[in-house]
Structure 1
Amino acid sequence: MRYRRDDVVARAIEVLDAHGLEALSMRRLAGDLGVQPGALYHHFTNKDALLAAIADEILRRGRRPAEIMAWDAEVHLLCLGLRDAMRRHRDGALLIGRVSRSDAEGLERPLRAALERAGAEERLACVGARTLVRFVLAHEDDEDGDFALGLGLLLDGLRARLA
Structure 2
Amino acid sequence: MDMRGAGHDLESIIDQAIALLDDIGLPDLSMRRLAGALGVAPSALYWHVANKQTLLAALADRIVAEAAPADGVDTTALALRDAILAHRDAAEVVTSSAALGLSSGAIRERFHAAYTRAGSSDPARAAAVAEQFLLGHTSLVQQRIQAATIGAYDANPRDVDTSTRAEFADGIAALSML
Determine if the TM-score, normalized by the shorter chain, exceeds 0.5.
Answer: yes
2:44 alignment partner in structure 1: 39
Q: Is 2:81 the counterpart of 1:76?
A: no
Query: Which portions of structure 1, spanning 4 or more consecutive aligned residues, are displaced by more than 2 angstroms?
Result: 102-106, 113-121
* SS of equivalent to 2:93: helix
For the pair 1:15 / 2:20, whether they are aligned, the reply is: yes
Determine the structure 2 residue equivalent to 1:143: 164
1:32-58 superposed Cα distances (whole Å, 9 cap, x missing partner):
111011111111111111101111111
CA–CA distance in structure 1, aligned partners of residues 87 and 118 of structure 2: 32
> 1:138, CA displacement in angstroms?
1.3
**In 2, distance between residues paired with 1:75 and 1:118?**
7
Which string of whole-angstrom CA distances, capped at 9 and with x for unpartnered residues, describes residues 99-140 of structure 1?
Answer: 11123733211211332344445xx22221111011111122
Amino acid at match of 1:137: L
Name the amino acid aligned to 2:169.
A
Q: 1:35-91 CA distances to partner (integer Å, 9 max, x unpaired)?
A: 011111111111111101111111111x2235xx5xxxx211111111101110110
Match of residue 65 from structure 1: 69
Runs of 5+ in structure 1 lacking a partner? Answer: 159-163
When the two structures are aligned, how many residues end up with a matched partner?
Answer: 148
The RMSD of aligned alpha carbons is: 1.8
Number of the residue aligned with 1:53: 58
Over 3 Å counting, the alpha-carbon distance change for 1:150 and 1:118 in structure 2 is closer
**Displacement after TM superposition at 1:146 (Å):** 1.3
Q: TM-score, normalization: structure 2?
A: 0.76
Q: Which residue of 2 aligns with 1:116?
A: 116
**Which secondary structure does the structure 2 equivalent of 1:44 belong to?**
coil
Query: In structure 2, what is the Cα distance between the partners aligned to 1:106 and 1:126?
Result: 13
Match of 2:173 in 1: 152
Q: Is the 8 A contact 2:76 2:111 kept in 1?
A: yes
The AA in structure 2 aligned to 1:83 is R
Normalised by the length of structure 1, the TM-score is 0.82
Equivalent residues of 1:100, 1:107 under 8 A apart: no
| Structure-2 residue corresponding to 1:161 | none
| One-letter amino acid matched to 2:54 | A
Cα distance change, pair 53–150 in 1 and its aligned pair in 2 (3 A): same
